[in-house]
Homo-oligomer: A and B are copies of this chain.
Amino acid sequence: MGTDIEQIDWRSACPISSALDVLGDKWTILIIRDLLIRGTRTYSEFLASPEQISTNILAARLKMLTCLKLIERTNPDASARNNAFKLTKSGAALRPVVLDLAKWAQVHLKDFHTNIVSIP
């Protein structure tokens, strides 16, 4: 209850700040990552990713990303069961951000996280 269509509280007019108002947490970009890599993903497929997102956080993020039209159902008129999500054009436009982030981490975090791999 409560968080039906949650209004985002934009901290400033800066586009970087605004991007973080939407994407600035530990989970949202992982959902985008899964969709960039796999094309489509159901609720339980998201849950199966190795980082172990919890069900309430996943549901909340999927709702927010849908409100912002970054993701949508593959079959908009059907029921939720086995109805995967996919990226919209706006969501897919995050590809360069995510790839840059991966490249950066592989080079600059390897001293702190020795098990880091090339791409999930």
Contacts and interface: CB of A to CB of B under 8 A. Distances in A.
Please state the number of chain copies in the assembly: 2
A10 to B, nearest CB: 5
A109 B15 contact: yes
Nearest to A112: B68
- Range for the number of chain A residues in contact with chain B: 35 or more
Interface in A10-32: 10-27, 29-30
A74 to B, nearest CB: 21
A38 interface: no
Given A11-B26, A17-B50, 9 more contacts: A11-B52, A14-B33, A14-B120, A16-B30, A16-B102, A19-B102, A20-B29, A70-B108, A93-B107
